[in-house]
Chains A and B, each alone.
Chain A
């Protein structure tokens, strides 16, 4: 019999395990030096003659130059949209419109890696999220509304739905491509043409999308994109010839827009800020609730209008839950958005970073207790450590104002009544979360919550078939689902 050498099993010391960098290749996306405006199916230089630079928030690297559309440029875009609406788009068979949307959806799927990398480069969000959330949902939105295009009379029976005309759409920087999809897909499905203004800091995927429109052979002028800062947005709001305005962004700007459009007859929908309560009852599945809390507030660096930024915990489980949450925070991987293992990426802009810092400082001053896990941040770029505030009172600014960053404020409650009271005690009403094993309590709570979306035992879950929108200062109008068609239609 062969002699087998007998070696000692090595001494079992725990392994110091660091994941090696796993960056997604960025050469899949070809970024040009300059992007003009997309008007009437052509990329054109801005009449304003102005350009500005777009940077990557994770490295402060200058990525490309993009046009600053002036009043004249916006006017041209609106005219192009009007032409396209009158000369064809509103007339073609609805099933033909659907074909274009299906085509766009498929192209987005085919080019999803490219778009995901572009989104993470330009906006700072982790590739894990742009790859697994933003892109699949954006494509799903086009697929979903493609299906409605030739069934509008079934969505609104006996009401003879007709397109509105030219829809002006202003979108934020937190989900650039996904918000584009939320806006463009229902507008086109209903037979409208659009002028879209992407956010100042994140125009890249919108510019790549213009290429998708060409690839899909969408008729010229059906989709127009004008880039620029708030001034461009203001031109668009004030421009003659728009029939509908859809805005997603801050409550402050939303109020200005509403004031501007009052009495003009332009249809308006606003999707604004939020200060959602995430309510955890003592019978909830705690480890999963912790995951939901983390997903609720640290997803996309907290740059989410429906983020679960106020955690309401039943006092009887306060300690174990906070212990678990703190432990979990220490495992969040903050860093390079293009690394496939990154959980929390870069803050979208310097201005936003300053706003987060200011509000966090106010929380400390007002007497809340701050917790931040040990965390090594990159030297360049805009970063903020995932932050947890305990001992927060309902009156503190961090419990009232939208921070739009990775900052969670924890409050406690004793009874379901108190939870409802505290959850509703805000100027906003976009979303809420409820964590309990008891089905009857979920229904009891949902009836009383003044929030557009209430998630039960999950958070930040989206589906194109589910309507989304707010109460109170979170805005009005719904996006998604059959409800999302209505703002883009007129009825007899």
Chain B
């Protein structure tokens, strides 16, 4: 049987009892709304603003078995100075790596303001004993991670053991200390928007600073409707409790145009207060260069070949 999560003291379920349950999501209407917003036409200066914001919101990511200190050093350089030709381009928000590469990234980024994010809790499946996951989260923080991207236990979630999912998030949050906790729902494995909403509310109730769509290892990863669904959950929590939670779509966002669409959905769902890297991030590896290419096109009126943008 499904169990309601045990709530930490002083924290109420995000929705008041007058709403009889967690609420539901209508898939057809949700997807239609996302599709409508994706048709917004963002031109000229508003496009440049959006693209520059997208750079500032980016968690530049490399999560491969073949990652080495050399590779991570390279993406750190890219993070700090995305376009060596155009120094007006700001650094990205963070670099996201596996635990073993946190120290390298930390060393490279020290003093820059660019954060080091590390995945943890047996990323990407999370199918390991809780104490190991908690220990891993503690370890990456000790190694210097500013932000921890944990995965929820989808096996527990899908079998109705919500309390286990909840308790794990609470314990990882404790282990994180001052580090920011992003909770990856892996929406591609949850099957329904109702589940995405439920998991979002659960993660937020358990103390998540951010809710994140995906590991990037499962398809589908981030989609516009699923991100909208999470934004609506975030909005409900904010409306009911005043608590601010960020959102991070990750995986599958490769084109600058997509990033602008996400920002439109964010803007029209949560408003301008969320148009900051404190509250919204893009998890991406190949998005950055397309954004840079579009910014240069807007500034010069011409497209340049990919060879003029550094690959790191």
Contact = CB atoms under 8 A, between A and B. Distances in A.
Given A16-B272, A22-B42, A283-B24, A316 B18 contact: yes
Contacts of A316: 18, 20
Contact of B49 (A9, A15, A340): A15
A1 B93 CA distance: 24
B81 A7 contact: yes
Given A8-B112, A9-B114, A288 B25 contact: yes
A266 interface: no
A291 B33 contact: yes
Contact of A457 (B28, B76, B277): B28
Interface string A281-292: 011111111011
B102 interface: no
B199 interface: no
Interface string A278-308: 0000111111110110000000000000000
Nearest to B272: A14
A9 B79 CA distance: 10
Nearest to A4: B77
B275 A17 contact: yes
B9 interface: no
A17 B272 contact: yes
Contact of B20 (A14, A282, A289, A292): A282
B113 interface: yes
A323 interface: yes
B80 interface: yes
B28 A458 contact: yes
B91 A9 contact: yes
Contacts of B108: 4
Interface string B69-91: 00000001100110000000011
B18 A319 contact: yes
Contact of B29 (A10, A13, A282, A457): A457
Nearest to B20: A282
B46 A18 contact: yes
Nearest to A292: B29
A10 B273 contact: no
B206 interface: no
B272 A13 contact: no
Contacts of A12: 56, 276-278
Contacts, number: 126
B47 A20 contact: yes
B178 interface: no
Contact of A317 (B19, B90, B93): B19
Contacts of B64: none
B272 to A, nearest CB: 5
Interface string B136-170: 00000000000000000000000000000000000
Contact of A20 (B39, B43, B114, B239): B43
B10 interface: no
A283 B33 contact: no
B65 interface: no
B56 A9 contact: yes
Most buried by A among B47, B49, B110, B111: B49
B41 A10 contact: no
A372 interface: no
B309 interface: no
Interface string A147-174: 0000000000000000000000000000
B210 to A, nearest CB: 14
A437 interface: yes
Contact of A285 (B26, B32, B263): B26
Contacts of B92: 9
Specify which of A4, A21, A316 lies most central, judged by the most chain B CB atoms within 10 Å of its CB: A4
A288 B113 contact: no
Nearest to B273: A14
A68 B53 CA distance: 56
Interface in A43-85: none
Contacts of A292: 29
A8 B113 contact: yes
Contact of B50 (A4, A17, A458): A17
B242 interface: no
B245 to A, nearest CB: 15
Interface string A9-41: 110111111111110000000000000000000
Contacts of B301: none
A331 interface: yes
A15 B276 contact: yes
Nearest to A9: B113
Given A12-B276, A22-B41, A340-B41, A17 B90 contact: no
A120 to B, nearest CB: 14
A22 B43 contact: yes
Nearest to B92: A9
Given A13-B276, A288-B25, A7 B232 contact: no
Nearest to B33: A291
B272 A15 contact: yes
A331 B275 CA distance: 15
Contact of B274 (A14, A341, A458): A14
A320 interface: yes
A285 B25 contact: yes
Contacts of A310: none
A376 interface: no
Contacts of B46: 17-20
A183 interface: no
A287 B232 CA distance: 7
A5 interface: yes
A457 B56 CA distance: 39
A266 to B, nearest CB: 41
Contacts of A319: 18
Nearest to A16: B272
Contacts of A17: 46, 49-50, 53, 263, 267, 272, 275
7 contacts: A8-B113, A9-B56, A22-B43, A287-B30, A288-B26, A319-B18, A320-B19
Closest 9 pairs (CB-CB, A-B): A288-B29, A9-B113, A22-B41, A285-B26, A288-B26, A340-B41, A6-B112, A15-B275, A12-B276
Interface of A: 2, 4-10, 12-22, 128, 132, 282-289, 291-292, 316-317, 319-320, 323, 331, 340-341, 437, 457-458
